[in-house]
Amino acid sequence: MNIPLIEIKKEKCNVCYACVRVCPVNAIQVKHNQDFPEINHQWCIGCGACLNVCSPKAVVYRDSREEVKKILASSEKVAAIVGPSISGEFDDITDYRKFVQMIRQLGFDYVNEVSFGVDLIAKEYAKLIENYKGKYYISSICPPIVALIEKFYPELVENLAPIISPMIATSRVIRQIYGEEIKVVFIGPCIAAKSDTKNNKEWSQVDEVLTFIELRQLFEEFNIKENNLEFSDFDAPLGYKGSLFPISNGILQAADINENLLTGIILTAEGKSNILAAVTQFEKSIDFIKHHFNLFYCEGCLMGPGTSRGGKKFIRHRLVTDYANKRLLDFNKPDWENSVEQFKNFDYSRGFTPDDQRLPEPTEEEIQEVLKVIGKSDYDDNVGCEACGYKSCRDFAYSVSKGLAKPDMCITFSLKNKQEYIKALKMSNENLAKIQEALKISEKAAKSERQKAVEASETIATMMQKLNAGVLIVDQNLKIVQSNESFINILGVDAREINEIIPGLVGADLKTLLPVQFYKMFSYVLSENEDILNRDVHFGDGLLNVSIFTIRKDKIVGAIVRDMLSPEVRSEEVINRVNEVIDVNLSLVQQIGFLLGEGAAKTEKMLNSIIESYKTKKN
């Protein structure tokens, strides 16, 4: 079973889409119905490019520290095989013999160099090139390169050099020396090696993989520092020129392969853009190029995603060459040659399996439709701002058509939508200002009439606000005349935000606040002058009980709205308060009724209906 190598922690993600833009195979996708990016683990090639561009560190790779600690705590012998990139990573260690001892202090019984495995594999590459029979190869040393070709260039699988990696070669040497039962932990700069070992443990013969970052964390956890330790060298067999492997053409140096620009037949490329171009051109033009390709996804293993962030390539390059020169000063070449001779008959071959993950190609019509949506249908197909992570607008539209991206990732499209939203909001504010101005004029014209009813109005308004049920008064245009806080709370967040600008939602259009089947009941009562009592209405996920009454024929209706899913209200107290209001303020209510054109009888009817509705609820 394949175990996911990389994950995105949504709680840390700030939705900047930097990881989406940097992924060379579009394995990080943003689907149309979601905001957060997701990793398609079937497509992921383990290059780790997403790790280095994620500033909030929301992208993480599988942590192997606990598994390694379990292995070290077991009764089995454990060997650490260390990638030669360690010389470029640990610039803070004064002597390589100190970090060898630091590794031993973690509990490893043996510490061996993968550079010896590089020496063995380099000789296999030299044989492959020397025995050229008309077929050109791509190096299979870099796991992301192998995954890239297996998944997205399956036609080139037969062109992958059929040779195991230095890590695998070293693990087999270790088992030959110490016995098959030994546990082997690879320490290196490559996170893709974790997938190679986890998903192919029997074939790889490596039990776990630690990155240099994880190694530093273990040193810190166990308080292991170089100033407390003595020197300790690697266990034999030692590597020779294989220590140059972290530099992209280091394996060619180790194999003494001709790199002369005039006579050599092998090309080296490193870095995302270069290797993508190299593989594409190998596929289309190898009969013209006529060279083998030595490819590394990173800018050499010394810049792998498992190394510390912020490392400077050329400083690490110098550290690697200094380390190699220092080792070669007193290197015992005869012993090395004997070791190489001992393992020369090993089987270093391997095969590869096509795992085609390519999606069906979108039609030209689908691509053009996306370009039209994002407003780029008239743009040059070969240009674009690249802010979305794609080289051109057409490339972006191509990915959207395949479901790998969504239009909102186009910055110009997103900005245009925001500008249109701002424009619509501005118009809405202007209309609101006009409504407010109209209300002011209406208020001024009716000031004298309102003064006559102010006392009764305040009493009724206070009562309305005390009710647990929603109360609403609407005019013949379905504009809200008055509503209480309970009604606003029933409507939800949008209504509460409007209420902050227009208290009581006065003047708001009922059609914009309620579903069509709901507000049509108000239209029915206004036109037919027939009350609707105790009607259950679905609203969102809830259920409301609605009663709508005529207050002023053809002009004003009122409504009582109860949330049937809310806790029981204290109905007796409400009934008593309403009775008191009827008894004490009947004359004032009559004045309100007179102003509305129907008199106190209709108002009393409305208030009594409130009482009846609560009695009904109680019973």
Please give, one letter per residue, the 3-state secondary structure of 489-539. HHHCHHHHHHHHHCHHHCCCEHHHHCCHHHHHHHHHHHHHCCCEEEEEEEE
Lowest-confidence range among 121-130, 294-303, 362-371? 362-371
Residue range 323-349, pLDDT digits in tens? 999 888 889 999 999 999 999 888 999
Average pLDDT over residues 412-433: 71
Q: What gap in Å lies between CA 557 and CA 573, rounded to an integer? A: 26
Average pLDDT over residues 581-588: 52
Q: pLDDT: is 122 or 449 the higher one?
A: 122
Q: What gap in Å lies between CA 60 and CA 381, rounded to an integer? A: 35
User: Would you kindly state where each structural domain of the chain is located, as residue ranges?
Assistant: 62-233+240-342, 451-618
58: confidence class by pLDDT, cuts 50, 70, 90: very high
**DSSP3 helix / strand / coil % (the chain, rounded to 5):** 50, 15, 35
Q: What gap in Å lies between CA 35 and CA 37, rounded to an integer? A: 7
The proportion of the chain whose per-residue pLDDT surpasses 90, expressed as a percent, equals 41
What SS3 state is found at 280?
A: helix
- How much is the pLDDT for 307? 93
Following DSSP, what letter does each residue of 295-330 receive, concatenated? Answer: EESSSSGGG-TTSPTT--HHHHHHHHHHHHHHHHHT
Lowest-confidence range among 232-241, 377-386, 439-448, 516-525? 377-386
Q: Mean pLDDT across the chain, nearest whole number?
A: 83
- How much is the pLDDT for 421? 62
Q: pLDDT: is 610 or 332 the higher one?
A: 332
- How much is the pLDDT for 496? 83
DSSP H or E run through 266: strand 266-270
Average pLDDT over residues 33-51: 88
Residue range 273-298, pLDDT digits in tens? 999 999 999 999 999 999 999 999 99
**pLDDT(572) > 50:** no
- How much is the pLDDT for 506? 87
Q: CB neighbours of 266 closer than 8 A, spacing ≥ 6?
A: 129, 252, 257, 258, 259, 291, 292, 293, 294
Using a CB cutoff of 8 Å and minimum separation of 24, what contacts does 283-292 make? Answer: 283/153, 283/155, 283/156, 286/136, 286/159, 289/136, 290/136, 290/265, 291/136, 291/264, 291/265, 291/266, 291/267, 292/129, 292/136, 292/137, 292/138, 292/139, 292/265, 292/266, 292/267
What does each C-alpha distance from 537 to 357, 445, 521, 529 come to in angstroms?
50, 38, 10, 20
- How much is the pLDDT for 609? 63
First to last CA, the chain: 62
322: confidence class by pLDDT, cuts 50, 70, 90: very high
CB atoms within 10 A of CB 603: 24
Pairing state between β 78-82 and 110-113: parallel
- How much is the pLDDT for 523? 86
- How much is the pLDDT for 593? 45
- How much is the pLDDT for 599? 46
Q: CB neighbours of 66 closer than 8 A, spacing ≥ 6?
A: none
**pLDDT(310) > 60:** yes
Burial (0-12, 13-18, 19+ Cβ within 10 Å), 605:
middle
What does each C-alpha distance from 80 to 72, 208, 215, 550 come to in angstroms?
10, 10, 11, 87
- How much is the pLDDT for 386? 59
Average pLDDT over residues 135-157: 95
- How much is the pLDDT for 94? 77
108: confidence class by pLDDT, cuts 50, 70, 90: very high
- How much is the pLDDT for 174? 95
**pLDDT(587) > 60:** no
Residue range 460-485, pLDDT digits in tens? 666 667 777 888 888 888 888 888 88
- How much is the pLDDT for 569? 46
The identity of residue 514, as a single letter, is L
Average pLDDT over residues 409-414: 67
Tokens coding 332: 């015992």
Using a CB cutoff of 8 Å and minimum separation of 24, what contacts does 353-362 make? Answer: 353/150, 353/157, 354/150, 354/154, 354/157, 355/150, 355/151, 355/154, 356/151, 356/154, 357/42, 357/43, 357/151, 357/152, 358/151, 358/152, 359/402, 359/403, 359/404, 362/398, 362/401, 362/402
Picking from 132, 312, 121, 111, the residue whose alpha carbon sits closest to that of residue 215 is 111
What does each C-alpha distance from 304 to 49, 57, 91, 503 come to in angstroms?
9, 17, 15, 61
DSSP H or E run through 149: helix 143-152
Residue range 488-531, pLDDT digits in tens? 888 888 888 888 888 888 888 888 888 887 878 888 888 888 88
589: confidence class by pLDDT, cuts 50, 70, 90: very low
567: confidence class by pLDDT, cuts 50, 70, 90: low
Q: What gap in Å lies between CA 247 and CA 253, rounded to an integer? A: 10
- How much is the pLDDT for 248? 92
**pLDDT(398) > 90:** no
Lowest-confidence range among 130-134, 341-345, 397-401, 450-454? 450-454
Q: What gap in Å lies between CA 415 and CA 509, rounded to an integer? A: 30
Q: pLDDT: is 279 or 95 the higher one?
A: 279
Please give, one letter per residue, the 3-state secondary structure of 176-209. HHHCCCCEEEEEECCCHHHHHHHHCHHHHCCCEE
600: confidence class by pLDDT, cuts 50, 70, 90: very low
Please give, one letter per residue, the 3-state secondary structure of 59-126. EEECCCHHHHHHHHHCCCCEEEEECCCHHHHCCCCCCHHHHHHHHHHCCCCEEEECHHHHHHHHHHHH
Average pLDDT over residues 69-73: 96
- How much is the pLDDT for 370? 76
Pairing state between β 208-211 and 183-188: parallel
185: confidence class by pLDDT, cuts 50, 70, 90: very high
Question: Phi-psi bin for 562: left (phi > 0), alpha (psi -120 to 50), beta?
Answer: beta
CA dihedral 115, 117, 123, 129 (to 10 degrees): -100
Q: What gap in Å lies between CA 162 and CA 238, rounded to an integer? A: 25
**pLDDT(594) > 60:** no
As beta bridge partners, residue 482 has: 473
Backbone φ and ψ of 207, nearest 5°? -85, -40
Q: What gap in Å lies between CA 276 and CA 152, rounded to an integer? A: 11
CA dihedral 514, 515, 516, 520 (to 10 degrees): -50
451-618 placed in CATH 3.30.450.20: yes
Picking from 514, 511, 488, 490, the residue whose alpha carbon sits closest to that of residue 499 is 488
